Structure 1
Amino acid sequence: MKVLLVGEYSRLHNSLKEGLEVLQHEVTIIATGDSFKQFPVDYSIFPRYFMENKLLVFLNKILFRLFKLDLPLAEKGIRFWLFLPRLKEYDVVQLINSNAIETYPFFSKFLLKKLFRQNKKSFLLVCGEDTPIIDFMLKDSLTYSILTPLLKDRKLASYYRFSLKYTQKKYRDLYDFVSKSVSKTIVSDLDYKIPLPEKTLIPNPVNTAKIAFEPLDSVQKVIIFLGVNNTSSIKKGTLFFEESLKIIQQKYGNKIAIIKTENAPYKQYITLYNHAQIVLDQIYSYDQGYNALEAMAKGKVVFTGAETEFNNYYHLTERVCVNALPDVDYLVAELSYLIENPEEITEMGKRARAFIEKEHDYVKIAESYLKVWSESERKVY
């Protein structure tokens, strides 16, 4: 099978590609690489002229301020358009988001119409923020979500521009166009299955062959890692982790070490957290995101989403990670327990790896995608 994966935000499509290639399928990724994260892609639509040329960056700032023109968006679309002649005769095209090309919505629709017509089946993967997800979260019907800080304090709206754009008519129209054009919509975890219960859930693929398990036979000094993404720190509840670490540092002093990084490229991020036994991932989630899963695969204890819905869905009776809550006292208590009982770090790390191998193995997940792709009917464009 010949597969085209459009967009990459978390290494999900790279791991899926690796699983599909083990099964002898031909896979191509076209994407920006997601800014500073620099994920590998086969065809790059990164807007390097308007992001790396100082004169053009300055020009774009002026045009955006005066006319709200965002030239990097245009450049991404133009780069995708130039690749279109090569993006033909694929058996499957999968978008990682309705806005996977990351250009102006009207331009996205134009490009996607051409892309869909010159290939066979098309699919949409909801694995992050998109119109129906933001619509659901704005209803405030969950205990918490990434929009909880905004719902509590509307002054934070400027930090949610990326999220709230999906409620604009032009992005809503784009989502409607994509969802009606694809053969099927797939979701990657419970944070998207809960808002879209009728959609098929295929868990995130994790390359368990590439990520080595690092058993923690003895923990001499507990090292805690916090990776901060400044563009999404409020949505991830990073402040709760930071406040907790201040208390933990005062409480345990040189018995622990804390590694903190900001906006690190993916390779650097991985290198830094390799030294830690505990990884602080995110607060406002019900299931694990991609960074959490990769850390769990290495046998680390991860503070992330692990709500009741998650435990019930996977029929878990023991913790494979720590359910992170927006409560500093709770986080301090959980961290303190692990620091004072290092054997639990070792045991939870083993359970985490076993869970990843059972539920997220990249080849098994690739097989799940192939089954859904094969069984879905082709849309006629």
Structure 2
Amino acid sequence: MKILLIGEFSRLHNSLKEGLLALGHEVVLVNNGDGFKNFPADISIRANFFKSKLGNIPRQIWFKIFKYDLGLLEHGIRFWMISKKLQHYDVVQFINESPIQTISKLELFLIKRIFKQNQKVFLLCCGIDYVTVNHMLQKKDRYSVMNAYFDDIPEAKKQYDYFFDFVDKPHQKIHKFLYKNIRGVIASDLDYVQPLLGNKKYLGIIANPINTDKITVIENKISDKINIFLGINTGNSFKKGVPFFECAIAIIQEKYPNRIEITITKDIPYTEYQKHFEKAHILLDQVYGFDQGFNALEAMAKGKVVFTGAETEFTNQYGLQEDEVAINALADVDYLVEKLSFLIENPSEIERIGKNAIQFIQKEHHYITQAEKYLEVWKTN
């Protein structure tokens, strides 16, 4: 099959592409690198001019006056320049409802062009879009990544501005067009299943593909200090519940000054981020999740103990009631301190959970197995 993947936010499409290539398919991945993360692409639509030193000055001035980013406009222009080449694919898949990340009118125009030039188009639900934001605003779940917004934390408000872009009228046009014309929508983990239940276009869940062949398993043996790593993306720190981790770390640092080493980074490229978590025994990922996101899964594949979403819904889905593969992180500092303290005082548990995590990823997230699941869905819809 000839397959076109458009957009990238977590390395999901890169791993899926690697699985599809291993199965003998032809795959092209188009994306803008997703900012500082700089994810790989076969065809890049990255904003080069407006993020250069020369282009950044008019970009900043324009944003102050008109309140939109010229870098986003450049994504759209670059996509338009290559869009005529993106035709006659057997399958096209968008990473979400805004895969190009440009201004709404141009996004819709370019999406329509992809539909005109190709027969089968599918959509992923693996982040923020109209369906998920609308669901969270109704507070249907026990908690969500919008908790800090609902708690009216002033410094958190700005981080949620873009959430509302997905429920305003310009984006609703994109959402309605997509759900009228796509063959179907696939959820990447349990956090996106509830918003899609009852939707006629929902095709089910396919867990994130992880390329375990590219990941070196590191024995999580404790010979000296226990290394705890927190990698912060300042643009979504409240969405991830980072302040709870920061408070817990401060307490743990004071409680076990000679037994731990703490590494905290902010807004570093994906490749540099990987180097840091390779050294870690424990990774602090997020507190507002029922299931794991991509960073957590890649760390688990390496044998790390990850504080992330691992709720009852997750353990029931995979039958893990007796095999702990991650620590279910909650928005509760005392709880986090208790869990961290237990691991520090019982380092053999770090090794045990790490081994369970490796086995779980190999069984449930292997990139070739997951690519086969995508192929089956694409062929039958």
Q: Shorter chain as normaliser: what TM range?
A: over 0.9
- With normalisation by structure 2, the TM-score equals 0.96
Shift of 1:334: 0.2
Distance apart, 1:196 and its partner CA: 1.2
Query: What SS class does the counterpart of residue 73 from structure 1 fall into?
Result: helix
Residue 45 of structure 1 is matched in structure 2 by 45
Report if the CA contact (8 A) 1:244-1:329 is conserved.
yes
Give runs of aligned pairs for residues 19-168 of structure 1, distance below 5 A.
Answer: 19-52=19-52, 54-153=53-152, 155=154, 156-168=156-168
- In structure 2, C-alpha distance between the alignment counterparts of 1:69 and 1:243, rounded to whole Å: 34
Supply the distance in 1 between the matched residues of 2:54 and 2:324 (Cα, whole angstroms).
52
How far apart in 2 are the matches of 1:115 and 1:316? 41
Deviations 1:259-285 (A, max 9, x none): 111001000000011101100000111
Q: What's 1:326 paired with?
A: 331
CA distance in 2, matches of 1:344, 1:194: 33
Equivalent residues of 1:6, 1:94 under 8 A apart: yes
Q: Deviations over 1:32-66 (max 9, x none)?
A: 010000110011111111111x2321112222222
Structure 2: which 5+ runs fail to align? Answer: none
Find the aligned partners of 2:347 and 2:231 in 1 and give their Cα distance: 22
Q: Which residue pairs with 1:379 in the alignment? A: none
**Offset of 1:154 from its aligned partner?**
6.2
Work out whether 1:215 is the aligned partner of 2:193.
no
Aligned residues with identical type, % of pairs: 49
Select which of 349, 353, 364 maps to 1:344.
Answer: 349
One-letter code of the match for 2:244? F
CA distance in 2, matches of 1:330, 1:68: 41
TM-score, normalised on structure 1?
0.96
CA deviation profile, 1:65-122 (whole Å, cap 9, x unmatched): 2233432121111100111122111111000011001111111111111111111210
Summarize the alignment of residues 227-266 of structure 1 with structure 2, pairs less than 5 Å apart: 227-266=231-270
Q: Which runs of 4+ in 1 moved over 4 A?
A: none
For the aligned residues, what is the CA RMSD? Answer: 1.1
Structure 2 equivalent of residue 315 of structure 1? 319
> Counterparts of 1:363 and 1:343 in 2: how far apart (Å)?
32
Structure 2 equivalent of residue 353 of structure 1: 358
Tell me if structure 2 keeps the 8 A contact 1:225–1:278: yes
Q: Which amino acid counterpart does residue 148 of structure 1 have in structure 2?
A: N
1:340 CA drift (Å): 0.5
- Aligned pair count? 375
- Supply the distance in 2 between the matched residues of 1:154 and 1:238 (Cα, whole angstroms): 13
| Unaligned segments of structure 1, at least 5 residues | 377-381
Query: Does structure 1 residue 306 correspond to structure 2 residue 310?
Result: yes
The residue type paired with residue 15 of structure 2 is: S
| Contact 2:240 2:286 survives alignment (8 Å) | yes
Deviations 1:345-367 (A, max 9, x none): 00000000111011100000000
Shift of 1:215: 2.2
Bigger drift between 257-266 and 165-174 goes to 165-174
